[in-house]
Amino acid sequence: MTHYFTTAKNLVERKLQYNKLIVDLLYIESNILTREIIIRQKIASNHANKINNINKIIRLETEQLNNYDLSKEGEILNLTNIVNDSKNDVGILTKEIADLKKDILDLSEKIVKLGETIPEKITITNVKIVAPNLGENCR
């Protein structure tokens, strides 16, 4: 596809706009990655808490084998409820990621459309045509 630009300025402006869209896209992708890291950290922290509480349950149950104590059963039940009820609070981050991915799709479409208007090979001519003075003899 051939695109004609009236001036080199028009071409440079289009390329500038294209590059700014690429930067915006990269910022959005970085924001997604940051949120994904936070989600993984929250999940890892939640797992660490579960492991800690389950280890406490194991210790209490082991003690129960040697010397049964009804009060420890309440503590075990409480810890079991904590483990079962613990959830990863990542809903907001997940929604933000979904919204950002929509933004990426929109930007990607703009980038493709704009990229199609920028030629891969560019020939810029700056030719000035001067008509001979009709009063002079051509040699």
Which alpha helices (H) appear in the chain, and where do they start and end? Answer: 8-66, 70-85, 91-116
Distance separating alpha carbons of residues 55 and 35, to the nearest angstrom: 30
Cβ neighbours of residue 57 closer than 8 Å, sequence gap 6 or more:
76, 79, 80, 83
Tell me if the pTM is above 0.95. no
Where are the domains positioned within the chain?
8-116
Distance separating alpha carbons of residues 54 and 47, to the nearest angstrom: 10
The answer to whether 31 and 86 have CB atoms below 8 angstroms apart is no
Q: Note the pLDDT tens digit of each residue in 74-87.
A: 999 999 999 998 88
Q: Note the pLDDT tens digit of each residue in 4-62.
A: 556 778 888 888 999 999 999 999 999 999 999 999 999 999 999 999 999 999 999 99
Number of residues that this document lists for the chain: 139
